[in-house]
Amino acid sequence: MLRYFNLPGMETYTEARPLVSNPSYDADRRKALEGLRVELSRGSIDGPTIDIVERFASVPCCYTLQSCYGHFMRESCVDDRNTKSVAEVGVLGSKLHYRVAYIAFCIQNSAKGRALLEEMRAIADVNPDYIQFGSADWFWKICVNSYVLQVSPLKNVCQDHFDVSMEDALRIEQARDEFFDGLREVSSRNEYR
C-alpha cells in the first residue's frame, strides 16, 4: 500500500466529480513526488504496483495519492500485504477476506488532464461489474480533483475490505489483472517522452 499523506482508510466510493480550479497543483505534485521517493526507499509500495506508480510519476497531468494491490487473506488483517493469488491463499469452497485494489490520483484541470480522466473511465468500462471509477469524499477534502479507480464487486462498492466466496475472489482477481493492465497502458501513453 502506498500512502503519501497521513490519510484514513478508504471510506466510500462516490460518483466522479467535475474538475475544478486547483492553483496549488504544481506544488502539490512536487510534494507527492518527493513522498514517492521516500515510500520507494522504505519498500512501502506493494510490489506488483511499483512499476505503475513509477510510470504515473512521469505523467505531468497527475500524481498518485495512494494505492493498494488488493490482497486476499484467509482472515481479516492477517498478512494484509501479501501478493499471493487466490489459489495460493484459499481452498475451494472457503471464504476469503479481500482488501480492495485501488489507485487514487490527483488530476490537473487541463486538456491533458481531462483526456487522462476519460482514459481512466475507459478502464472501468472494461468490466463495470468489478471496476469502478469515481471520487471519494475524504480524498477530495484533502486534495481537490482526486479520483479513484478500484476493483470491487458492485455490491461492496462502498467498502474497502470484506469477505468473499472463493468463486467471487477468482472473478475479482481476474478484474484486478485487467485493471492493472489497463493502468499500465494508460501510463505508457501519457508519460513524458
Q: H helices within 4-144, ranges in order? A: 25-42, 50-56, 86-89, 111-126, 137-142
CATH number of the domain within which 149 lies = 3.30.1960
Please tell me the least confidently modeled range out of 5-14, 90-99, 167-176: 5-14
CA distances to 13, 136, 173 from 159, rounded to whole Å, are 8, 11, 17
Instruction: For residue 27, give its domain range.
Output: 2-190
CA distance 66 to 119: 19
Q: Report the pLDDT value the prediction gives residue 14, as an integer from 0 to 100.
A: 85
Specify the pLDDT at position 162.
92
pLDDT one-digit tens code per residue, 136-162: 788 898 899 999 999 999 999 988 899
Does the structure show a pLDDT above 70 at 164? Answer: yes
Domain count, the chain: 1
- Tens of pLDDT along 74-132? 876 566 678 888 988 876 678 899 999 999 999 999 999 999 999 999 999 999 999 99
**In whole angstroms, what is the distance from residue 119 CA to residue 99 CA?**
25
Which amino acid type is present at position 106? Answer: C
Q: Quick one: average pLDDT of 157-183?
A: 94
- The set of long-range contacts for 122-125, using a CB threshold of 8 Å and a minimum separation of 24, is 122/182, 123/149, 123/179, 123/182, 123/183, 123/186, 124/149
Cell numbers that stand for 102 in this block? 485501488
pLDDT at 4: 40
What does the DSSP 8-state code read for residue 7?
-
pTM of the model: 0.89
Taking Cα atoms as reference points, which of 115, 105, 93 lies closest to residue 52?
105
- pLDDT tens for each residue of 62-83: 999 999 999 999 876 566 678 8
Band of pLDDT at residue 2, cut at 50, 70 and 90: very low
Q: What is the pLDDT of residue 192?
A: 74
Residue 65 CA: distances (Å) to CA of 48, 101, 149, 156, 159: 17, 14, 12, 22, 19
8 A C-beta contact, residue 138 and residue 7: yes
> Among candidates 118, 139, 171, 137, which has minimal Cα distance to 7?
139
